[in-house]
Amino acid sequence: MHIRFHGAAREVTGSMHLLETDTDKILLDSGMFQGRREESDRKNRQLPFDPSIVTNVVLSHAHIDHSGRIPLLAANGFSGNVFSTRATAHACEYMLPDSAHIQESDANYLNYKRAVHVIADLTGMSREETKKRMKKNGRSDRETIRDFMRRYDINPIEPLYTAADAEQALTLFSGQPYNETFTIGRDVTCTLYEAGHILGSAVAVIRARQNGKSFTICYTGDLGRYNKPIIKNPAKDFSASGADIDLMLLESTYGNRTHEPVAEMAPRLKNIINQTVERGGALLIPAFAFGRTQELLYTIHELYNNNQTPRIPVYVDSPLATRITKVFGEHPEVYDKETHKVFLENGMNPFLFSQLRFVDSVQESMALMREDKPHIVISAAGMCEAGRILHHLRYKIHQPKNTILIVGYMAQNTLGRRILEKGGEYRAAGRAGDAPVVRFMGKEYPLKAHVENMDGFSAHADKDEMLRFLKDSRLNIKKIALVHGEEDQMTAFAGTLKEAGYKVHTPKFGESLRIG
């Protein structure tokens, strides 16, 4: 028995690990790479195995860097089950079609740009005239663009997968309860435990019997923090039959970092809101639609209830976040005790309050971008690589009265990482001299808005919390393979674990590791 690491090996996104027994091939997650457009597209399209050989998939949680290539599997021959918790299966009903929409929209945009460039050069037609001919009712039209590309023998860029592929993939999902064992292969079973990362996230304990021997693999997926609002802490009670772990796949996103204490999140957010309001500005928060948005709403709701900040309007400008917030509302069975006590027992929905507005249409979003009075916008995408947050930044990033609040992990080579790093350098220099410049959407913008970073909102456990999980779980672990971490974080955490007495390996992309 062995496992091969096809993603999130010495990097953070694209989780995908293939567990192979004599009879079955079990895929642990099937996530998308996120980062530079061309590099990500190349990596995401190159599946390193034939999907038809995969028996089943075990999905740790619904974030796209863990779930986003499941439709690609389904479109290329995979026909097994996708096992996850029930909340994760519910969330994927929205996450995967939304991802497909992004793939199709990106392909259409790139085809439009490419066709305009090539056809204008071939025909001598002006670019403006070429653009007009590819539009229908004033907007670029997919079929019109495709027709022009066929006419001039231009190969179109195809989306990674389509909405139909996503819908087909959803028929393969099998939602499972926590703490109950189910079969995923011949003599292979799985039990899901609370990971504390986002709603429905799970630690998977897989037991396999081969040649008369039993093996146990623990895949943590993404581990969450302790004592955060809404969801429960990572599990510490594992069944005795799964307590001896031959190999643990452990995330290492923040393997050399410690976060701000959870208790400081609300006070810090209060100060940032108040300071922004005093400047007469807007607070822009790029946030993942699933998890971070709901934590922010929960915390703002508490601040408003306790009269700790002005009750300025709050807008969630992400159709996906709106749908996912409804998913949260339908799964109170996974909430922690504090959420029940503060909100549910008082007849309140943690994610709804009178100052909150969910923005649906593009027209509403465009009007909001021009709003000049103090307000809060929570918008996707979380790493600022796509989505409506880009347009809000376009209107607000150059004004010093505004604030951009970073509340989550920003992968290398993303706009979010550039804003975080350049904004931090500008603040460290006392905001003196010319503001740094960031380029996106084809233009350069001075980064005059204040940039704040609250890593306490992170959904990932830090170094100390991962060590706590290992201690509290009381698992007897023979070997740990570190995944889902940039190389500097992973290497540092490997050293920490070795000092604590663990045998540790840091696999490379494509590497195979024998179990037992």
How does pLDDT run across 167-194, given as a tens digit for each residue? Answer: 999 999 999 999 999 999 999 999 999 9
343 pLDDT band, cuts 50/70/90, is confident
Tell me, what's the pLDDT at 124? 87
453: its two tokens: 């970073």
pLDDT tens column, 366-414: 999 999 999 999 998 888 988 899 999 999 999 999 999 999 888 888 9
Dihedral sign computed on CA atoms, order 391, 393, 397, 403: positive
Which position has the token pair 């199709």?
104
Contact 331, 230 (CB under 8 A): no
The answer to whether residues 26 and 18 touch, using CB atoms and an 8 Å cutoff, is yes
* Range name among 5-19, 115-129, 208-222, 398-412 with the lowest pLDDT average: 115-129
Q: What does the alpha-carbon distance between residue 338 and residue 342 come to, in Å, rounded to a whole number?
A: 6
**pLDDT at res. 424:** 96
Instruction: Give me the pLDDT at residue 66, please.
Output: 97
pLDDT exceeds cutoff 80 at 516: no
- Sorted by where each starts, the structural domains of the chain and their CATH numbers stand as 2-97+175-257+461-514 (3.60.15.10), 100-163 (no CATH), 262-457 (3.40.50.10890)
Which pLDDT score, from 0 to 100, does residue 102 have? 87
pLDDT for 41-90, tens place per residue?
899 999 999 999 999 999 999 999 999 999 999 999 999 999 999 999 99
- The model's confidence at residue 161, banded by pLDDT at 50, 70 and 90, is very high
Residue 133: pLDDT over 90: no
Query: Tokens in use for 426?
Result: 């500008």
Q: How far is CA 62 from the centre of its chain?
A: 8
509: pLDDT confidence band, cut at 50, 70 and 90?
A: very high
Q: Contact, 417 vs 383, CB < 8 A?
A: yes
Name the 3-class secondary structure at 463: helix
Residue 138 has pLDDT above 70, yes or no: no
The mean of the pLDDT values for the chain is 94
pLDDT at 300 over 80: yes
Does position 141 have pLDDT exceeding 80, yes or no? Answer: no
* Residue 345, both tokens: 């027992």
DSSP states of 99-132: HHHHHHHHHHHHHHHHHHHHHHHHH---HHHHHH
Is residue 276 within 8 Å of residue 283, measured between CB atoms? Answer: yes
pLDDT of residue 122: 86
- pLDDT tier, 163 (very low <50, low <70, confident <90, very high otherwise): very high
Q: pTM to 2 decimals?
A: 0.89
Q: Is the pLDDT of residue 462 over 80?
A: yes
Q: How many CB atoms lie within 10 A of CB 50?
A: 11
HSE-CB at 127 with a 13 A cutoff on CA atoms is 7
β-pair partners for 182 = 190
What would the two tokens of residue 492 be?
């540092």
| Cβ 291 vs Cβ 61: under 8 Å | no
For residue 241, what pLDDT is reported? 72
- Amino acid, res. 290: F
Residue 240 banded pLDDT, cuts 50, 70, 90? confident
> Cα–Cα distance between 329 and 338 in angstroms, integer?
15
